[in-house]
Amino acid sequence: MPSRSRESESHDPLSDSEAGYGFADGATDDLAASLPQSLSIEVSLPTTVHAAPDDELAVAIVEVPVNPGSVEVAQPSTMSIAVVAPTPLPEPVPAPVVIPELPTNDGRALGRRDVSRRDAVTANPGRRDRSRGEVSHTPEAANMLTADRLIDARKKKPVKPEGGLNAFLYAATLHLVNLGDSPKVLARKAIEDRVDKRFEGGARFIPVLTRKGGVGKTTITALLGMALSDIREDRIIAIDANPDRGTLSERVNKQTRSTVRDVVTLAPSINSFNDFTTMVSRDETRLDILASDTDPLLSEAFDENDYNVVADLAARFYSIVLTDCGTGIVHSVMRATLQRADSVVIVSGGSVDEARLASETLTWLEANGYQDLVKNAVVALNTATQGTNLVKLEEIEAHFKSRVREIVRIPYDPQLAAGSVINYRELKPLTKASARELAALVVDGLPSRQGA
């Protein structure tokens, strides 16, 4: 047993492997004795240096520690800077331009006046310079094609004069003697030219009002509308806004039973002028009249909002809108009427109380912020009322002339005094002349452009 232990202790595993490779026992012992107890191997490699590219260096953050609790505060200071304005340089004086005189075809030198006239004709040729068929250097506007430029006066047929003696001489001399229209006809044509004033930018509203009934306010409204419609070619309408059963529609032959109430009710379905004309009555002068409510129990229902609906529709289809306002100037419709008014017509009778109440109407307008309407107002003095023969009408006119723009006398006419249908063609010449004068004065106060 002891001998077996010694063999196991002296047995070296290397010896078997070494024996397998052909090492002798002695060589194996010598090799084991020459090896150290511990073996360390050191390998030295070159140090790798990383070079950052330029794009990384551009966005690199410098590794400098920052203390957020430490903030350096600089002491405030002031600095004054003196601003000195530069010295202005003297303006250069232009050298005088010498314009030599231009010779003409006949060898004469053109003077300064001749050169200026020639330059003006060249820059802005007129009709006289175009009468010979010369061609403009610049395109002409359409307004250059006027009648006096295009129509040859020698070939134009002379206009037949109006007026007794002048027309007789023209006919008796076989159209050889033409003295033109008589002064009376010229005055009438001048009135018509004033009434036929052109408007731009929407309808014009003219309320006719007074504080007293029975002075012919409704008659004046119809008479004014007929005079305007007889001369003008556009559309005129008179609206009866009287809350006390107005009678404006009775001044013409009724063609419909529709009233302002029907217009308000059917307003959403009224899309054209033809739709609107089915609700108005038209007389021989082409004046359209829109009647008021015929039922007194419903008349008060026509208020400010209803009038605005009717007025908006009328403004779409008519150039001039007359409004018969009735006697209730404190009614809600009156405010809407005056807010749209471009001018007003005040009707006064020929008696003392009628003139005083008409003047109080002007005072009420001034007290309620309508001073401009008062200054531009026209007073129609109806001389057909009772008591006119006892009153000095010139004194009434003098009073109103101190407050309003104009005043017109409306003479007595049996047809107007009847209070029924008015036939404009059959009115007395003086009555028609007064109506035309009233229309001309009212149109004179209306602006040509809306908002002007």
**Tens digits of per-residue pLDDT, 165-192?**
878 787 788 778 777 778 888 888 999 9
Helix residue ranges per DSSP H, 11-111 = 13-21, 25-34, 54-59
Which pLDDT does position 185 carry in this prediction? Answer: 85
Which pLDDT does position 320 carry in this prediction? Answer: 96
Cα 203 to Cα 321: distance, rounded to the nearest angstrom: 7
Residue 295 tokens, joined = 């039922």
3-state secondary structure 130-187: HCCCCCCCCCCCHHHCCHHHHCCCCCCCCCCCCCHHHHHHHHHCCCCCCCCCCHHHHH
pTM of the model: 0.65
**Tens digits of per-residue pLDDT, 402-450?**
999 999 999 999 998 888 899 999 999 999 999 999 999 999 999 988 7
Type of residue found at 66: V
**Tens digits of per-residue pLDDT, 244-281?**
677 898 899 988 989 998 999 999 999 999 999 999 99
Point out the residues of the chain with pLDDT beneath 70. Answer: 1-39, 41, 43, 45-52, 55-81, 83-86, 94-133, 153-158, 244, 295-301, 328-330, 387, 451-452
Which pLDDT does position 109 carry in this prediction? Answer: 47
Cα 118 to Cα 121: distance, rounded to the nearest angstrom: 5
Type of residue found at 389: N
